[in-house]
Amino acid sequence: MNKQIVSRRTFLTGSAATAALMASGMVTLSSWLSSSAHAEGTGYETVATTCNACTNKCGVIAYVKDGRLWKLKGNEAHPYSKGTLCARGHGYSQIAYSADRLTEPLKRNEDGSYSAISWEEAYREIGEKVKAILAKDGPEALAIVEDPRPNGKYYSKRFINALGSSNYYTHNATCNLSLSSGYQMTFGSANFSADIASSKLVVFIGRSYGDGLRPSSVATLAKAVKNGTKVVLVDPRLNNSGVFASQWLPINPGTDLALLLAIAHVLVAEELYDKDFVAKQTTGFDEWAAELTKYTPEWAETLTGISAETITNLAKELGAAGSKGVIEQGWRGAFGCQYRNSFNAARAVAAVNALLGNWNKKGGALITSTPKAEALDEEKFPAVPKGPQKLGIAEYPLQNQDNGTNLIVVKKADEGTLKGVFFYNSNAAKAYANPQAWQDALAKMDLKVCIDVQMSETAHLCDYVLPECSYLEREEVPDFLGGKQGCVAGRFQALEKIHPETKTSDAIYAELAEACGVGAYFKFSCEELSRAQLKSVGVSYDELKEKGVVDIGEPFAYDKVPKWKTPSEKFEFVSQKIAETKGLKLYEPLIKWVEPKVSPDPGKGEFRLIGGKQSIHSHTMTTSVEALMSITREYALERAWINAGKAAELGIEDGDEIEVSNELFTGIVRAHVTERLNPTAIWIPTHYGGSSPELTQGFGVGIPHMEYVPFDIEPDVGSAMTHEALVTVRKVSS
Ligand SMILES: Nc1nc2c(c(=O)[nH]1)N[C@H]1C(S)=C(S)[C@@H](COP(=O)(O)OP(=O)(O)OC[C@H]3O[C@@H](n4cnc5c(=O)[nH]c(N)nc54)[C@H](O)[C@@H]3O)O[C@H]1N2
Ligand SMILES: Nc1nc2c(c(=O)[nH]1)N[C@H]1C(S)=C(S)[C@@H](COP(=O)(O)OP(=O)(O)OC[C@H]3O[C@@H](n4cnc5c(=O)[nH]c(N)nc54)[C@H](O)[C@@H]3O)O[C@H]1N2
Ligand code: SF4
Ligand SMILES: [Mo]
């Protein structure tokens, strides 16, 4: 299936630096740096572009000679890389030359195998099926799911909207939907950023800069710690940010909300909160303060496993740090999407920061803005009419509506009302909820289309698989970024197309639109769109192409009263929107304790299955990369972590094979026996357990997290509750 035009061998001999790292994954840093240095100044063309190995999309300078990629460097000007790329950023560039890449459009046969099909045929057949669905079931029966990349944000949304549907969903229901929804409900924006560089005390709750990487965040944290910032980690597992921390609180997973409520209790009871801020900029304080009286540190101790004394001391330290103390914003680990109380945990994070009065203060919680393109010429870029309300909003009214909950696709397909779905840059059926639930739902649909670079598990469930060229072979629309300094980053083409039958996503969407009868909305090239968007914000396309990143607007100014985009235009300890929303199933206007959905019963040998990132992998997609998987193999990184005391009880020694099972799935994996884990949990790296045979590197290595997680949705909000799963463990062999 994968015609290999440039063999892996030729590529490796042709380029020593990034390729050497990519080939073995094990070159020494010094030999790699010296071969990299050798590449400087010897006639290489450099192209400023962006990485696609994770959501961060760091700025990259690609070194190219004779049409071959030589090496990558982090772009100094990009706020996320600041000159440094992580291992994934280097290793993932191998995708361009990977033997496992998709090279031509494919159509699924009755028996589940795939045959090549021409683009024209694929477009014609998809177009006919879309038109049939539109005629019979209407535009609401169509949806699109993606993990947004710059082109996706524009083209995926425009494509589904052009078909008359508003059913645009991102991956967020298994990333940070509860967090962004909870934040919107307290301070009116989807996120904030902790000003770590100037903080005295930072509390990380289920967020690890040392594992869930963004290079500049690690650098900022390291520098802050050197300058005296105290770091406390709240995590069932001592994660790899431990080197920066002076305290680790091995909390029982799913109980962070109790910890936060108890911290708030102490801050209020001991009058350690910012009274002026609370009086002037918040609503609902008195009501919440009354509720907080029951959440004593002693109450929280029984739930969290953290002593009342430790909780009280941490609260007092935060109170003493005042606006230079901060609970970091988190991302996925503890309250992004994991539990049946994640939405309230996110609200409680915001509320504790409000008690500290740290909003927009140096060392506190900053609400920064993101620049965006202004309205464009209507004739060239006609606005797409607004369709009916997005599916899922009625059922999950507290969700961040921009990105929606993709789990509604599973529900509505299962019910028979959703008939067609497109996936772009997304392994939804492996990664966004229980894979069997996705498989059963997709089997009921009339049309499934996947646009990818490799034969993902999701591609395996689709009728048509359309191959995009890799990120190094394409240009995309500008990526506008917020932060202390707003900016725009550009993805530009570093390599000529390697496989002639692959296409860029803008071309695929424009041609698909034409086949579906809505081509009129796509009569412009990607470059024309980029030029127009940039012009609207006063940035030159040529300057962006040269530098990769251009700043926009003024830097963030401290001490400005935030623009609270809530109904009351204040910070809301009691939510007005929740009070006004009818028919809620779980959450209330007050930030209250909510039990997680399940709790392990040690008497029955149960553990809670939790997971997290490893610094060398992204989600499921990089386990296809040879260089990165060779590191996994060398260090047996796929192992499941078990607490040493628990392992002794079960007769398990480090490196033993263990069976991890529940009612949904049973898998065998080696054990990593450690003191660094709360005894109620089993922790697994979430990248493994690949089940697509075409992805030869990752196939069958480790166990797949989502297979263990029952398909269920956080009430009112729509997240996947990915840590609400129990397992038992037994030794299989030494
Ligand atoms: N290497 C790497 N880096 C990445 C990514 C990647 O795939 N790989 N992806 C990027 C993306 S999209 C995201 S969302 C971020 C995610 O970034 P993070 O949210 O930092 O990532 P995780 O590793 O999922 O979770 C962090 C920690 O939460 C802990 N945790 C689990 N359950 C609980 C709990 O109940 N309470 C508490 N307090 N802690 C808990 C885990 O043990 C883990 O150490 O990473 C980004 N960066
Ligand atoms: N099991 C598991 N599930 C997870 C996570 C996890 O770590 N493990 N992480 C969660 C989080 S935090 C997030 S943000 C989401 C992430 O969700 P996804 O972004 O869907 O993550 P992946 O599972 O890595 O799948 C990415 C897909 O995009 C494809 N792809 C890569 N590059 C390109 C490209 O240039 N063009 C196109 N068209 N496709 C491309 C890959 O081949 C792969 O099939 O997953 C969530 N779910
Ligand atoms: S954090 Fe690493 S993988 Fe993600 S965009 Fe940056 S360099 Fe690429
Ligand atoms: Mo994520």
In this predicted structure, the answer to whether residue 76 has a pLDDT above a threshold of 90 is: yes
The torsion of the CA quartet 291, 296, 301, 307, rounded to 10 degrees, works out to 150
Position of tokens 């149960």?
Answer: 606
pLDDT score recorded for residue 453: 98
CA 330 to ligand 1: nearest atom: 19
Encoding tokens for residue 332?
A: 């996925």
CB of 548 closer than 8 Å to CB of 61: yes
CB of 106 closer than 8 Å to CB of 117: yes
CB of 217 closer than 6 A to ligand 3? no
Ligand number with the minimum distance to the CA of 233:
1
In this predicted structure, the answer to whether residue 5 has a pLDDT above a threshold of 70 is: no
b/e 278-305 (16+ beta carbons within 10 angstroms → b): beebbbbbeebbebbeebbbebbbebbb
Which residue has the CA at smallest separation from atom 9 of ligand 2? Answer: 619
Position of tokens 């049973």?
Answer: 666
Helix (H, G, I), strand (E, B) or coil at 668: strand
- Ligand 2 neighbours, Cβ below 6 Å, are 52, 55, 147, 171, 174-175, 332, 424-427, 430-432, 451-454, 456, 468, 470-471, 618-621, 686-687, 705-706
462-491: per-residue pLDDT in tens?
999 999 999 999 999 999 999 999 999 999
Segment holding 160, helix H or strand E: helix 150-162
Residue 546 corresponds to which amino acid? E
Checking DSSP bridges between strand 201-205 and strand 325-327, what pairing results, if any? Answer: parallel
341-396: per-residue pLDDT in tens?
999 999 999 999 999 999 999 999 999 999 999 999 999 999 999 899 999 999 99
Residues 6+ apart with CB under 8 A from 136: 419
* Substitution site in 18, 22, 54 for ligand 3 pocket (most atoms within 8 Å of beta carbon): 54
CB of 250 closer than 6 A to ligand 1? no
In this predicted structure, the answer to whether residue 133 has a pLDDT above a threshold of 60 is: yes
Ligand number with the minimum distance to the CA of 248:
1
Q: Please give the angle made by the CA atoms of 471, 473 and 479, to the nearest 5 degrees.
A: 45
515-529: per-residue pLDDT in tens?
999 999 999 999 999
CB of 460 closer than 6 A to ligand 3? no
Nearest to 337 by CA among 170, 174, 180, 146: 174
In this predicted structure, the answer to whether residue 680 has a pLDDT above a threshold of 70 is: yes
Residue 376 CA to residue 158 CA, distance in Å, equals 14
Q: How many CB atoms lie within 10 A of CB 597?
A: 17
Ligand number with the minimum distance to the CA of 86:
3
Q: End-to-end CA distance of the chain, in Å? A: 39
CA 215 to ligand 3: nearest atom: 1
Which residue has the CA at smallest separation from atom 6 of ligand 2? Answer: 619
CA 336 to ligand 1: nearest atom: 19
Measure 187 CA to ligand 2 centroid, in angstroms.
29
Domains of the chain: residue spans and CATH = 1-101+469-494+525-554 (2.20.25.90), 118-174+384-467+503-520 (3.40.50.740), 177-368+560-580 (3.40.228.10), 602-733 (2.40.40.20)
CB of 79 closer than 6 A to ligand 3? no
Measure 253 CA to ligand 1 centroid, in angstroms.
13
**What distances in angstroms separate CA 343 from CA 260, 340, 621, one per listed residue?**
13, 8, 28
220-274: per-residue pLDDT in tens?
999 999 999 999 999 999 999 999 999 999 999 999 999 999 999 999 999 999 9
CB of 281 closer than 8 Å to CB of 313: no
> Which residue spans within 543-695 are E strands per DSSP?
549-551, 571-572, 607-612, 640-643, 657-661, 666-674, 681-685
Which residue has the CA at smallest separation from atom 38 of ligand 2? Answer: 452
Measure 4 CA to ligand 1 centroid, in angstroms.
36
Q: Please give the angle made by the CA atoms of 411, 413 and 417, to the nearest 5 degrees.
A: 105
Residues 6+ apart with CB under 8 A from 241: 204, 208, 209, 210, 211, 221, 231, 233
CB of 550 closer than 6 A to ligand 1? no
CB of 148 closer than 6 A to ligand 1? no
pLDDT band at 19 (very low <50, low <70, confident <90, very high): very low
pLDDT score recorded for residue 26: 39
Residue 632 CA to residue 629 CA, distance in Å, equals 5
Helix (H, G, I), strand (E, B) or coil at 392: coil
Ligand number with the minimum distance to the CA of 213:
1
Find the DSSP H helices in 59-118. Answer: 87-91
DSSP secondary structure of 527-558? HHHHHHHHHHTT--HHHHHHHSEEE-SPPP-T
Helix axes 626-635, 17-24, angle to 10 degrees: 40
Measure 619 CA to ligand 2 centroid, in angstroms.
5
CB of 612 closer than 6 A to ligand 1? yes
146-168: per-residue pLDDT in tens?
999 999 999 999 999 999 999 99
Residue 76 CA to residue 100 CA, distance in Å, equals 32
CB of 610 closer than 6 A to ligand 1? yes
pTM above the 0.85 mark? yes
Encoding tokens for residue 664?
A: 């949904």
CB of 15 closer than 8 Å to CB of 112: no
CA 336 to ligand 2: nearest atom: 12
The average confidence (pLDDT) of the chain is 94
Nearest to 91 by CA among 36, 40, 23: 23
CA 54 to ligand 3: nearest atom: 4
Helix-strand-coil percent breakdown of the chain, rounded to 5? 35, 20, 45
- Cα dihedral sign, 301-304-310-315: negative
Q: Please give the angle made by the CA atoms of 588, 590 and 595, to the nearest 5 degrees.
A: 65
Residue 246 CA to residue 290 CA, distance in Å, equals 33
pLDDT band at 530 (very low <50, low <70, confident <90, very high): very high
CA 88 to ligand 3: nearest atom: 3
* Substitution site in 469, 621, 686 for ligand 2 pocket (most atoms within 8 Å of beta carbon): 621
pLDDT score recorded for residue 92: 97
b/e 418-437 (16+ beta carbons within 10 angstroms → b): bbbbbbbbbbbbbbbbbbeb
Measure 189 CA to ligand 3 centroid, in angstroms.
25
Phi/psi for 325 (5° steps) reads -105, 150
* Substitution site in 147, 331, 479, 709 for ligand 2 pocket (most atoms within 8 Å of beta carbon): 147
Segment holding 247, helix H or strand E: strand 247-249
CB of 54 closer than 6 A to ligand 3? yes
Counted residue by residue, the chain has a size of: 734
Q: How many CB atoms lie within 10 A of CB 669?
A: 22
Measure 240 CA to ligand 4 centroid, in angstroms.
18
